Structure 1
């Protein structure tokens, strides 16, 4: 009689997955810390939340946490850095749009949708408030906002050279105004208040069109 072949069980679930590398385990732990820190910052505020609170949220010893982050400021810097990957995707999509107004508006709405769906609006407000009194966080915020503003400037200047837009005033004024409007929209999280992002997009489109393609210059003499 032919001998039967031994049955080999197929790996299932986690056993079928390749083991994580040390770098992957570290990245996973960092994300756990950032998520726990976000919860603490939103619940207690940056001033009220302590590294010990974050440890309790994680079930991690202080010594272990400090191996990853030496301070709350370092955690905020990491949270900001993590969001830059989303911003990079947003800018890439914006740059591929042949219509500069449409590209800017869609990128802005995508960012507002991300802030809403991720639940980051309260955290964004807390970080912004803390930046008013904490120089380290202020530096992180200014660096991040500066990079965003530089991307917008490059985008608009290229459109101006192509003759696609003729802003109502100089970009040195338009860009900070746009950034302030965007920051206010992000902090207020209008979808959470029942305001449709479709409505926000329609209003934003009219506003940006008026800024970048005005019927007459704001300071034009008659």
Structure 2
């Protein structure tokens, strides 16, 4: 029997995840069965269960990939000298992410799937733990960026790096929710809004 290459295995795994993501985006997690996933990807139960034990495994894998992609983008930005400012960085990350990088889905569908994953974490201990780990990683990545901003002389040192990190993560999450609910929210809106807020000086108290 010919040996199956790792490249083939990786491609098959991604095929299954992409099909599951399309099903979840259309019908939600609880409205999608494993039979729906099998039909979507056109594979036998044995072929799918070789990679994933069930629906929870699929959801966890999708969540991990989504978090990983965003986290790596932030970590890469921290290595640039000088690092891109928050408006540029968040615009770049969201533009890339929502342009169909997650399983080739269109932007609003991609955002809707991410919001569903977040909601599912409220009922799943496994997802909640994975999200907590991912969130902690993103906070560390943003905190490193804050230190890089300070080293470059473009951010004051009087605000906690973690406070800045959590605020920027919340900004990205809010953008995702707006796109999922309403659609048509361009990354330029986020960039321009952040740029406007960043231009504000300290308030003078009389």
Matching residue of 1:79: 62
Shift of 1:215: 2.7
Matching residue of 2:103: none
Does 2:167 match 1:185? no
SS of corresponding position for 1:75: helix
SS of corresponding position for 1:47: coil
SS of corresponding position for 1:79: helix
Which digits, 9 at most, give the CA deviation of each residue in 1:74-96, with x for residues without a partner? Answer: 22332234342464245324531
> What does 1:90-109 align with in structure 2 at a 5 Å threshold?
90-98=74-82, 100=83, 102-109=84-91
Which digits, 9 at most, give the CA deviation of each residue in 1:171-204, with x for residues without a partner? Answer: 34332222112101023228x7334432321111
> What does 1:1-222 align with in structure 2 at a 5 Å threshold?
22-83=5-66, 84-85=68-69, 87-98=71-82, 100=83, 102-118=84-100, 119=106, 120-161=110-151, 163-166=153-156, 169-189=159-179, 193-208=183-198, 215=202
Contact 1:105/1:204, CA 8 A, preserved across alignment: yes
TM-score of the two chains, using structure 2 as the length reference = 0.79
CA RMSD of aligned residues (A): 2.8
SS of corresponding position for 1:68: coil
**Distance between the aligned counterparts of 1:46 and 1:204, measured in 2?**
34
Q: Which has the larger radius of gyration?
A: 1
Which structure 1 residue ranges, 5 or more long, are not aligned?
Answer: 1-19
**Distance between the aligned counterparts of 1:57 and 1:173, measured in 2?**
43
Question: Which of 1 and 2 has higher RCO (CA within 8 Å, sep 6+)?
Answer: 2
**Distance between the aligned counterparts of 1:77 and 1:197, measured in 2?**
27
SS of corresponding position for 2:43: coil
